[in-house]
């Protein structure tokens, strides 16, 4: 793993003493000050709310250059993977570090096919959820529930066959997600059909009804592969950092993924894709007046934010949003869908990108801005959009959990704090 200490040093002057700290340089030239000895040598800690400036680990999985809008998985540009790969191959790449050869690919694909069903007793869990339950709540609970039936990873330190857990998660998460959709619309669960591709099987479980034949549309299958590839990893984002945090305590992989799903649900993170469509619908109901909405999003006194815009790392156009915007046009043309919300999204983007408020803050469309329009065109409801994000992000979460488990420097993640509460006082007796 790269990230070598160089001869460059950082010198801190504290209380008249000089503290020398090593500088780490990554394989793409990123530089970080290694503060792992700071408290021991100076008594000081650092403070960085939201970890805006803080690296939590070295990692070789995903590279982002936010200023230039670059995203690569294991060195491959996202544009090339989106154009040439599929989600199963990209998942293998993220988790194992290299593209699979034909034998590795076939073995991985067959294993994912083999593990598509869930334990039959798990079906009854769905009867306990209200039909109005948010599918992210169901997905997190059901993924955690997998660990009660599949106990091979209960003690990760003793588990010498992590591939079994990986394939169970990647394969069954589709079934869990599709079953939650069927539950919400009162249709019977549709079992996997392992003669279909990874994405084709998901579409089959989502949209087939027992009374009629169902044929997977190759263009929709292609669009879904693209969307899942684009969501597959994004270095130390909130949900991936959550998976790593839980995993650092030696929690099993199923439970760590359930934690990642809950973090992704938040509207500042993966929940934004659902919030984008809700905002576009509100604008549509208000005669499509985007300028009034943009005004609200700029107003510090309003809690409104332009969802699907802005990013902690990208201070340029999110490369994923560019690809999704083009794929959106292709998919809607193929399906013959005229979605008024797409026109509103385009107008919103144009107004915002020419407004100094957004320009000055480097706020551009992110991965969530157009993805919901595609999911909607496929027939996936708003509240399932973040579930789709979770299906895509799963190989990334798994890759980071595995990388951390294999890191000799790995230890439990336990941030410090600066205490600002009451000084010592006695209990009134
Ligand atoms: C994802 O980290 C990842 O990699 C995440 C992700 C992944 O693949 O895992 O890329 C997926 O989560 C994408 C982001 C989805 N979230 C949204 O679209 C929600 C809307 N966006 C914002 O909430 C915000 O931009 C964040 C949360 C994405 C980033 O927040 P930051 O980095 O903490 O930035 P900030 O809140 O400090 O904002 C800086 C300034 C502020 O204004 P000032 O105080 O400087 O005057 O920009 C403003 C903010 O008010 N701002 C926005 C805005 N986003 C930031 N103003 C209006 N609308 C917005 N969307």
**What's residue 2's pLDDT?**
58
Atom of ligand 1 nearest to the CA of 239: 9
Residue identifier of the C-alpha nearest atom 1 of ligand 1: 269
**What's residue 5's pLDDT?**
78
Active site residues: 311, 368
**What's residue 4's pLDDT?**
77
Q: pLDDT tens-digit profile of 49-61? A: 999 999 999 999 9
Integer Cα distance of 203 and 300 in angstroms: 42
Q: Which string of DSSP letters, residue by residue, matches 275-291?
A: HHHHHHHHHHHTTT-HH
- Give the Å distances, CA to CA, from 311 to 192, 295, 306, 411: 37, 20, 11, 29
Which residues make Cβ contacts (< 8 Å) with residue 373, sequence separation at least 6? 277, 328, 332, 339, 341, 342, 345
Residue 375 has pLDDT above 70, yes or no: yes
Integer Cα distance of 204 and 197 in angstroms: 10
Average pLDDT, the chain: 95
Residue 15 has pLDDT above 90, yes or no: no
Q: Are 27 and 3 in contact (CB under 8 A)?
A: yes
Residue 6 has pLDDT above 80, yes or no: no
51 CB less than 6 Å from ligand 1?
Answer: no
234, 237, 297, 310, best to mutate for ligand 1 pocket (most atoms within 8 Å of CB)? 310
DSSP state of 309: B
Residue 1 has pLDDT above 50, yes or no: no
Residue 190 has pLDDT above 80, yes or no: yes
**What's residue 267's pLDDT?**
92
**What's residue 212's pLDDT?**
96
Q: How far is the CA of 337 from the centre of ligand 1 (A)?
A: 30
Q: Are 70 and 64 in contact (CB under 8 A)?
A: yes
Q: Picking from 172-181, 240-249, 302-311, which range would have the lowest pLDDT averaged per residue?
A: 302-311
Q: Which string of DSSP letters, residue by residue, matches 184-214?
A: HHTPPP----TTS-HHHHHHHHHH--TTS--
User: How far is Cα of residue 324 from the mean position of the Cα atoms in its chain?
Assistant: 16
Q: pLDDT tens-digit profile of 240-278? A: 999 999 999 999 999 999 999 999 999 999 999 999 999
pTM attached to this predicted model: 0.96
> What confidence tier does 84 reach under pLDDT thresholds 50, 70, 90?
very high
Residue 329 has pLDDT above 50, yes or no: yes
């Amino acid at each position: 793993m790269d990230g070598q200490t160089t001869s460059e040093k950082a010198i801190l002057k504290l209380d008249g003493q000089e503290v020398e700290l090593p500088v780490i340089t990554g394989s793409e030239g990123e530089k970080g000050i290694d503060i792992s000895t700071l408290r021991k040598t100076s008594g000081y800690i650092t403070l960085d709310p939201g970890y805006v400036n803080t690296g939590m680990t070295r990692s070789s999985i995903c590279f982002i250059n936010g200023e230039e809008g670059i995203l690569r998985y294991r060195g491959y540009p996202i544009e090339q993977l989106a154009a040439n790969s599929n989600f199963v191959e990209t998942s293998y790449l993220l988790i194992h570090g290299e593209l699979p050869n034909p034998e590795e690919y076939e073995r991985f694909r067959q294993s994912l096919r083999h593990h598509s069903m869930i334990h039959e007793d798990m079906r009854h869990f769905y009867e306990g959820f209200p039909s109005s339950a948010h599918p992210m709540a169901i997905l997190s609970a059901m993924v955690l529930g997998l660990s009660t039936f599949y106990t091979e990873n209960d003690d990760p330190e003793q588990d010498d066959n992590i591939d079994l857990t990986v394939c169970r998660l990647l394969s069954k998460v589709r079934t869990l997600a599709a079953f939650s959709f069927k539950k919400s619309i009162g249709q019977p669960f549709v079992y996997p059909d392992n003669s279909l591709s990874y994405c084709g099987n998901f579409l089959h479980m989502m949209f087939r009804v027992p009374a009629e034949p169902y044929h997977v549309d190759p263009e929709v299958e292609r669009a879904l592969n693209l969307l899942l590839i684009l969501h597959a990893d994004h270095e130390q984002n909130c949900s991936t950092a959550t998976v790593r945090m839980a995993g650092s305590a030696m929690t099993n992989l199923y439970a760590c993924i359930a934690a990642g799903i809950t973090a992704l649900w938040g509207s500042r993170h993966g929940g934004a894709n659902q919030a984008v469509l809700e905002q576009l619908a509100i604008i549509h109901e208000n005669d499509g007046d985007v300028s009034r909405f943009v005004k609200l999003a700029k107003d510090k006194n309003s809690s409104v934010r332009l969802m699907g815009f802005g990013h902690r790392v990208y201070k340029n156009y999110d490369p994923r949003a560019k690809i999704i915007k083009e794929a959106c046009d292709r998919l809607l043309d193929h399906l013959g869908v005229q979605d008024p919300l797409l026109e509103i999204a385009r107008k919103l983007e144009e107004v915002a990108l020419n407004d100094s408020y957004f320009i000055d803050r480097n706020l551009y469309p992110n991965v969530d801005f157009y993805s919901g329009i595609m999911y909607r065109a496929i027939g996936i409801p708003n509240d399932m959009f973040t579930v789709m994000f979770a299906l895509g992000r799963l190989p990334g979460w798994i890759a980071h959990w595995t990388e951390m488990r294999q890191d000799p420097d790995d230890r439990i993640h336990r941030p410090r704090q600066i205490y600002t509460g009451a000084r010592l006082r006695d209990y009134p007796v």
